[in-house]
């Protein structure tokens, strides 16, 4: 449940409340930005006696939660919670576009595309160094060498970088290089990995799984947040459907639904969502229209030669044209890119 504390609660009353909660084995999380006035008390329902807590002198209001996700619930952070990544903020007026190739393939090409993407108005560079491939014989990523290239591109362009981590043993390594660590669709319910990034102090981009419901998805975010890492960005990237004509089925309704249930920002990835570069611009525009807080778009200078996901990668000039359209759409909606 969520407890709103009285503005004038004395330190003694607060201490007493926390002591009571601790005695009952209840976990306490303060809502960021609430000045320690809104807290989530998470524990056994029997231990949480709403009526008794409501009468406690430090408590102004008790909000029982009937959802399984608590920290991801909008009640925990009333309104839209902002997630900061360096100087950037997700969840506000500004829409951020993350762009780059599926994989970091080599230094020269990555630096070249990074420069190009900065000119087009992307604020975050993407590129996988650890790739979750269906076949063990496909390109698996450059590993730490790829991370070094990402860091060099950040140094040169000033853009921040997002890259995937797939293994608990690599979380520390990836956090050392990345500004945002990505948990891919295939690992959305890898609970050991979620717990590990929950202990990290780095923003996490958590992609929706290809068969997770929105509720299960928010529970995965809850795993990260319950470890104390509240900087979670969600990403709708399509779910499996009956129709192989597109790689996935983009669930754009998830965007307003997540905004209704949760304070967490959500971005849209039309590249993995559709699997075909032709459908990327229309679905990117639709994502913005649906209220997304950002986009993730794969761009490659030579898609036919890409090591992964070439068929869904936009050419840089197409990305540039798309950015021009997105700016217009954002402005109609009172937002900026």
Buried b (16+ CB within 10 A) or exposed e, 31-52: beeeeeebbbbbeeeeebeeee
- How many C-beta atoms lie closer than 10 Å to residue 93's C-beta? 11
Cβ 176 to ligand PEP shortest distance, Å: 20
Q: Would you count residue 102 as binding ligand PEP (CB under 6 A)?
A: yes
Q: Would you count residue 128 as binding ligand PEP (CB under 6 A)?
A: yes
Half-sphere exposure of 238 (CA within 13 A, CB side): 23
- Using alpha carbons, select from 39, 52, 120, 117 the residue that is nearest to residue 78: 39
Compare residues 88 and 165 and give the one whose CB is closer to ligand PEP: 165
Q: Would you count residue 198 as binding ligand PEP (CB under 6 A)?
A: no
Q: Which of 95, 102, 183, 295 binds Mn ion (CB under 5 A)?
A: 102
Report the C-alpha gap between 115 and 45 in whole angstroms.
Answer: 53
Longest alpha-carbon distance in the chain: 67
- Tell me, rounded to whole angstroms, the distance of Cα 22 from its chain centroid: 31
Report the C-alpha gap between 62 and 69 in whole angstroms.
Answer: 17
Q: Which does 184 bind (CB under 5 to 8 A by kind): Mn ion, ligand PEP, none?
A: ligand PEP
- Using alpha carbons, select from 20, 1, 3 the residue that is nearest to residue 59: 3
Compare residues 31 and 103 and give the one whose CB is closer to Mn ion: 103
Stretch that binds ligand PEP, among 31-39, 45-53, 79-87, 181-189 (CB under 6 A): 181-189
Cβ 45 to ligand PEP shortest distance, Å: 35
Cβ 233 to ligand PEP shortest distance, Å: 13
Cβ 128 to Mn ion shortest distance, Å: 7
Q: Would you count residue 310 as binding ligand PEP (CB under 6 A)?
A: no
Residues written for the chain: 337
Q: Which of 29, 237, 263, 300 binds ligand PEP (CB under 6 A)?
A: 237
Cβ 149 to ligand PEP shortest distance, Å: 16
Cβ 234 to ligand PEP shortest distance, Å: 12
Compare residues 32 and 310 and give the one whose CB is closer to Mn ion: 310
Compare residues 86 and 132 and give the one whose CB is closer to ligand PEP: 132
Report the C-alpha gap between 90 and 230 in whole angstroms.
Answer: 13
Query: Do 179 and 203 meet the contact criterion of CB atoms below 8 Å apart?
Result: yes
Q: Would you count residue 259 as binding ligand PEP (CB under 6 A)?
A: no
Total number of residues that touch ligand PEP (CB under 6 A): 9
Considering only residues 40-69, where is the footprint of Mn ion by CB under 5 A?
Answer: none
Query: Do 54 and 41 meet the contact criterion of CB atoms below 8 Å apart?
Result: no
**In sequence order, which residues have a C-beta less than 8 Å from that of residue 22 and are 6 or more positions away?**
28
Site string for Mn ion, 305-334 (x = CB under 5 A): ----x-------------------------
Cβ 172 to ligand PEP shortest distance, Å: 21
**In sequence order, which residues have a C-beta less than 8 Å from that of residue 195 and are 6 or more positions away?**
223, 227
Cβ 331 to ligand PEP shortest distance, Å: 28
Report the C-alpha gap between 336 and 235 in whole angstroms.
Answer: 19
Site string for ligand PEP, 20-59 (x = CB under 6 A): ----------------------------------------
Angle at Cα 12 formed by Cα 11 and Cα 13, nearest 5°? Answer: 95
Considering only residues 264-283, where is the footprint of ligand PEP by CB under 6 A?
Answer: 272
Q: Which does 207 bind (CB under 5 to 8 A by kind): ligand PEP, Mn ion, none?
A: ligand PEP
The two structure tokens encoding residue 108 = 């020269």
Which positions lie near Mn ion, rule CB under 5 A? Answer: 102, 309
């Amino acid at each position: 449940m969520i407890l709103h504390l009285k503005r004038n609660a004395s330190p003694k009353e607060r201490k007493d409340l926390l002591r009571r909660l601790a005695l009952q084995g209840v976990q306490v999380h303060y809502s960021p930005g609430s000045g320690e006035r809104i807290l989530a008390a998470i524990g056994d329902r029997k231990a949480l006696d709403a009526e008794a807590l409501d009468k406690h002198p430090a408590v102004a209001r008790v909000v029982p939660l009937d959802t399984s996700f608590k920290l991801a619930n909008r009640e925990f952070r009333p309104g839209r919670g902002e997630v900061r990544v360096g100087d950037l903020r997700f969840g506000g007026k500004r829409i951020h576009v993350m762009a780059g190739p599926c994989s970091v393939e080599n230094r020269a090409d990555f630096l070249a595309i990074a420069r190009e993407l900065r000119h087009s108005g992307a604020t975050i560079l993407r590129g996988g160094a650890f790739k979750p491939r269906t076949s063990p014989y496909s390109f698996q990523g450059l590993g730490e060498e790829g991370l070094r290239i990402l860091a060099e591109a950040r140094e040169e362009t000033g853009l921040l970088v997002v890259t995937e981590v797939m293994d608990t043993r690599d979380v520390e390594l990836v956090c050392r290089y990345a500004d945002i660590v990505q948990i891919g669709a295939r690992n959305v319910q890898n609970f050991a990995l979620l717990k590990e990034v929950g202990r990290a102090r780095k923003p996490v981009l958590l992609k929706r799984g290809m068969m997770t419901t929105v509720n299960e998805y928010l529970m995965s975010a809850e795993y990260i947040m319950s470890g104390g890492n509240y900087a979670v960005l969600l990403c709708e990237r399509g779910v499996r459907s009956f129709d192989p004509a597109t790689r996935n089925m983009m669930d754009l309704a998830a965007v307003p639904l997540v905004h209704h249930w949760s304070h967490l920002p959500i971005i849209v990835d039309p590249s993995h969502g559709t699997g075909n570069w032709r459908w990327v611009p229309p679905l990117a525009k639709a994502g913005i229209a649906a209220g997304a807080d950002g986009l993730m778009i794969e761009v490659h200078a030579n898609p036919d030669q890409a090591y992964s996901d070439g068929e869904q990668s936009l050419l840089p000039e197409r990305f540039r044209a798309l950015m021009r359209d997105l700016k217009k759409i954002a402005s109609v909606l009172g937002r900026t890119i």
